[in-house]
Amino acid sequence: MTSTTLVTLLAAVVAYVLKVLLDFHSAVRSIRNHPGTRTVIDALSPIGMMVVTPIPVLAHGNQRSWKYKHAEYAELGYDILSSVAAFPRVNTDIFVADAAVIKEITTNRSRFPKPVDIYKVISFFGDNIVGTEGDEWKRFRKIIAPSFSERNNRLVWDGTVKIMNDLFEAVWGSKEEVTVDNSTDLTIPIALFIIGVAGFGRSMSWTDDVNPSSDHTMPFKDALHIASSGVFAKAATPNWLLNLAPTEHLREVKTAYPELHQYMTEMVQARRTAEKKVEQHDLFTSLLDANEDEDDGQAKLADSELLGNIFIFLLAGHETTAHTLCFTFGLLALYQEQQEKLYQQIRSVIPEGRIPSALILGRSVFYETLRLFPPVAGVPKTVAEDTALVTADSFGNKVTVPVLQGTSLVLNIAALHYNPRYWDDPHAFKPERFHGDWPRDAFLPFSGGARSCLGRRWFFETEGIAIMTMLVSRYKIEVKEEAEFAGETFAERKERVLRSKRGVTTTPVRMPLVFKRR
């Protein structure tokens, strides 16, 4: 390399660094140096999302919201924090834990749209309601929303009762105690079987559907489960590497997606060509019927869009239900007095031996679990026009944060749910906080506004409470005693049992429980 070339290269590097520094300074000034982090790597960039743990100066860390919850906001004295980063481009992100500001954002979709590009990676089967905005989103919602009907909720309830009774009778039988080393091994199949029945009209049980049909290499329930649990692997793995399938997990993921696509395509064709239409209320059939009944030809969903939306509801319903149930069982095992209160409430409403038929039990327990372990710690938004967000500091003084067009916003659900402005003793498990009046704008486990989860009633008010009610009415839940943890304190046990990691939703690491017949 000649000296001239070297000088030219160094000059280019210096010019680039100076430009980045000037742009960085300008970005900080544009938000009036509002408190927050200043890092090299942008928190919401693809590279930044790969950095799990916060690294001072270098990276914000994609687990920061869950790791610190509201602690940073309390320390700095604001419920809005900023993050300015230099690479891969100078960018500003705003993280919000103020309930009033979040409500403003979720109710003004034109000013604060969803960044749909980041959701394209889960459009494996076709475009869907999660990854769209504007008129396309309205078209999807118009056809999809009616599918979540009272008849479908009834199917969810009846299917849940059948699946739980099958567990008690065919699997657990006369056992006085059932030990589960990791409770997701219990909650995942429960959620899977229910979404099979209520989502696809496919009856599945603990012993059925163990072999694939002659046209398939994988049973339906395996394809369903692996496609759901393997979504990160599918999204993050390049096709060339997935085709090589160097690990057993990737081999299963590689097989599961085309298998599930084939299953769903066969179901569409079978229901369209059936000589006699059978009245069914599963989500898949309801969506097909709603699409066929749509008068506006332009509004109908293409087959790929039908499959894309069904997969999204599979992903949300399966993971959210399984993991929230697991956290619920863990909390009840740790807090025996709360479990006893719930059991006595169940006994007072449902006589012993009867199948539950009401949906009023355990609501506060489930809400408190969702507050402590929201399925998603942060919800991204973008800013469509220059605007300002108004919050207050810890002394009650009004603070205005300028936000420029193109800025990324994150609704920090974890920080909101642990914000002491709204929740007394926020780290404690207190289901009674949901009795009477409570701060509804500060509780967003399913997001908020028009873009909140369409299936939240299916998941929470029907399936989740039915499972919890039936199980607690028959079994007492306890933490499994293990010799290596014999000397731990309650705080240490709580931290160990409720440990979580990042997944499609907040995921328990390992929750060893014992279910003792009452």
288 and 306 Cβ atoms separated by less than 8 Å: yes
- Residue 74: CB atoms within 10 Å: 18
The pLDDT, as a whole number, for residue 134 is 84
In angstroms, the CA 467 to CA 164 distance is 7
The sign of the dihedral angle between the CA atoms of 262, 265, 271, 274 is negative
Ranges 132-136, 273-277, 495-499, 514-518: which has the least confidence: 273-277
395 pLDDT band (50/70/90 cuts)? very high
User: What residues contact residue 462 under an 8 Å CB cut-off, 6+ apart?
Assistant: 153, 156, 157, 160, 359
Per the prediction, the chain carries an average pLDDT of 88
Ranges 362-376, 426-440, 449-463: which has the least confidence: 449-463
Express each pLDDT in 40-75 by its tens digit: 999 888 788 888 889 999 999 888 999 999 999 999
Q: Is the pLDDT of residue 502 over 60?
A: yes
In angstroms, the CA 165 to CA 167 distance is 5
295 pLDDT band (50/70/90 cuts)? low
Dihedrals phi, psi of 465, to nearest 5 degrees = -70, -35
As a whole number, mean pLDDT of residues 213-234 equals 84
> How buried is 200 (Cβ within 10 angstroms: 0-12 exposed, 13-18 middle, 19+ buried)?
buried
- Pairing between strand 387-392 and 507-508? unpaired
Q: Is the pLDDT of residue 130 over 70?
A: yes
Ranges 5-9, 119-123, 176-180, 445-449: which has the least confidence: 119-123
Q: Is the pLDDT of residue 316 over 80?
A: no
The pLDDT, as a whole number, for residue 31 is 96
Q: Is the pLDDT of residue 297 over 60?
A: no
Site of tokens 């742009």: 23
The pLDDT, as a whole number, for residue 352 is 58
In angstroms, the CA 328 to CA 471 distance is 12
Residue span(s) of the chain under CATH 1.10.630.10 come to 150-370+454-517
The candidate with the shortest Cα–Cα distance to 309, out of 465, 459, 139, 151, is 139
The pLDDT, as a whole number, for residue 154 is 84
Taking the CA atoms of residue 212, residue 213, residue 216 and residue 221 in that order, the dihedral angle to the nearest 10 degrees is -40
Dihedrals phi, psi of 95, to nearest 5 degrees = -110, 125
Rounded to 5°, the CA angle 54-323-152 comes to 135
Q: Which of 43-57, 137-151, 315-329, 388-402 has the highest mean pLDDT?
A: 388-402
The pLDDT, as a whole number, for residue 434 is 93
The pLDDT, as a whole number, for residue 158 is 86
Express each pLDDT in 182-223 by its tens digit: 999 999 999 888 888 888 888 777 876 566 777 899 988 888
Residue type, 354: R
| 353 to 66, 156, 477: CA distances (angstroms) | 41, 21, 19
Q: Is the pLDDT of residue 152 over 60?
A: yes
The pLDDT, as a whole number, for residue 516 is 98
301 pLDDT band (50/70/90 cuts)? confident
As a whole number, mean pLDDT of residues 425-453 equals 90
The pLDDT, as a whole number, for residue 264 is 87
Q: Is the pLDDT of residue 357 over 60?
A: no
Give the residue ranges of the annotated binding site.
Answer: 453
Give the residue ranges of the annotated binding site for heme.
Answer: 453
Indicate the class that CATH gives domain 150-370+454-517. Answer: mainly alpha
The pLDDT, as a whole number, for residue 348 is 82
- Residue 180: CB atoms within 10 Å: 18
In angstroms, the CA 320 to CA 315 distance is 8
Helix pair 363-372, 465-474: axis angle to 10 deg: 110
The candidate with the shortest Cα–Cα distance to 323, out of 487, 477, 443, 499, is 499
The pLDDT, as a whole number, for residue 256 is 92
Secondary element (H or E) of residue 80: strand 80-87
